[in-house]
Amino acid sequence: MANAEVDALDFEDDDLMDEDGTADVDASSSPRAPQPKLKSAITGGAPKKTKGRGFREEADSERHSRLADRNFESLGTDGGPGPQRSIEGWIILVTGVHEEAQEDDLQNVFGEYGEIRNLHLNLDRRTGFVKWLELSKYEVTSVQKIFGISDSEGYALIEYENFEEAQNAITAMNGGELLTQTLTVDWAFSNGPSTGPFKRKNMRFVSDCYFLQSANLLALDMGLSYIKERCPVNYIERPGRTHRSRSPRRRY
């Protein structure tokens, strides 16, 4: 996987771990190293398989300033976690929508909970195509109709004017059925991070590199080599502070 070509800078992870999560890893603080060709920075029990030209290219220096900028507009929140109101209403996400569903079908079902202000029904083109490659050279839709196969699904985004209407739609239709397929219905936008199993605590954006604390990655019990320089990929993983290890690092 081209590991031999990689010029990763190794630092004692203790250096960063000991600082209480406040040290900024600044690209300008290590001027000596050239822009490395990055490999996926996870080492240890669960190395990431890497794929693609992006790991072999020279870094594009502008690449990181684009998304690292702080000035991204967002709608204000009224504080507290939970769903966030959009510009003119409340938006829910419906998934598992049958590929032959039309807007009317959704209107009929979801219109019951309130007036629908906006509806986007997007069907998945790619999975339909992948199945085409697998089946044969026949035209996919005719084969599907013969065998009654539905292999692609879609999602819909529906906007209601107020919170109660959207909540009622979610409560009533989550797990419900449309055209024989089970739907899941939930809020689309949130006030704060949806970290799931991950803790947000150590997550910060450091110049162009992006660190994630993941409570899941118990395998990262060993040392980690990470990159202080600008990296050709934006995403870098590092272990959380709770999983430090003094055992010698394995390099991949």
Residue numbers of the site for other proteins (CB under 8 A)? 40, 42, 46-55, 57, 62-63, 66-67, 69, 71-75, 83-84, 86-88, 91, 93, 95, 117-118, 120, 122, 124-127, 129-130, 133, 155, 157, 159, 184, 186-198, 200, 203, 210, 212, 214, 216, 232-235, 237
Q: Name which of 130, 132, 151, 148 is nearest 140 in CA terms.
A: 132
Q: Which CB, 32 or 71, lies closer to other proteins?
A: 71
In angstroms, give the least distance from the CB of 32 to other proteins: 25
* Cβ–Cβ < 8 Å for 152, 127: yes
Are the CB atoms for 94 and 185 separated by under 8 Å? Answer: yes
What is the C-alpha separation between 60 and 195, in angstroms, rounded? 30
Closest separation in Å from C-beta 187 to other proteins: 5
- Smallest Cα–Cα separation from 38: which of 238, 231, 235, 209? 231
The residue whose two tokens read 């005719």 is: 142
- In the bound complex, what is the minimum distance in angstroms from residue 214's beta carbon to other proteins? 6
**Residue holding tokens 């996987």?**
1
Q: Closer to other proteins by CB, 40 or 207: give it.
A: 40
* Cβ at position 210, least distance to other proteins in Å: 8
* Residue pointed to by tokens 């003119």: 88
Hey, what are 223's tokens? 């040392």
Q: Minimum distance from CB of 217 to other proteins (Å)?
A: 8
Q: How many beta carbons lie within 10 A of that of residue 123, not counting itself?
A: 16
Cα gap 228→24, rounded to integer Å: 10
Q: CB-wise, 39 or 228, nearer to other proteins?
A: 39
Nearer to other proteins, 18 or 50 (CB): 50
Under 8 Å between Cβ of 153 and 97: yes
**Minimal distance in Å, beta carbon 197 to other proteins?**
7
Report the residue number, 130 or 143, with the smaller CB distance to other proteins: 130
Q: Are strands 181-182 and 153-160 parallel, antiparallel or unpaired?
A: unpaired
In the complex, the smallest distance separating the C-beta of residue 144 from other proteins, rounded to whole angstroms, is 17
Judged by beta carbon, residue 32 or residue 53, the one nearer other proteins is 53
Q: Which CB sits closer to other proteins, 100 or 124?
A: 124
Helix (H) or strand (E) holding 186: strand 184-187
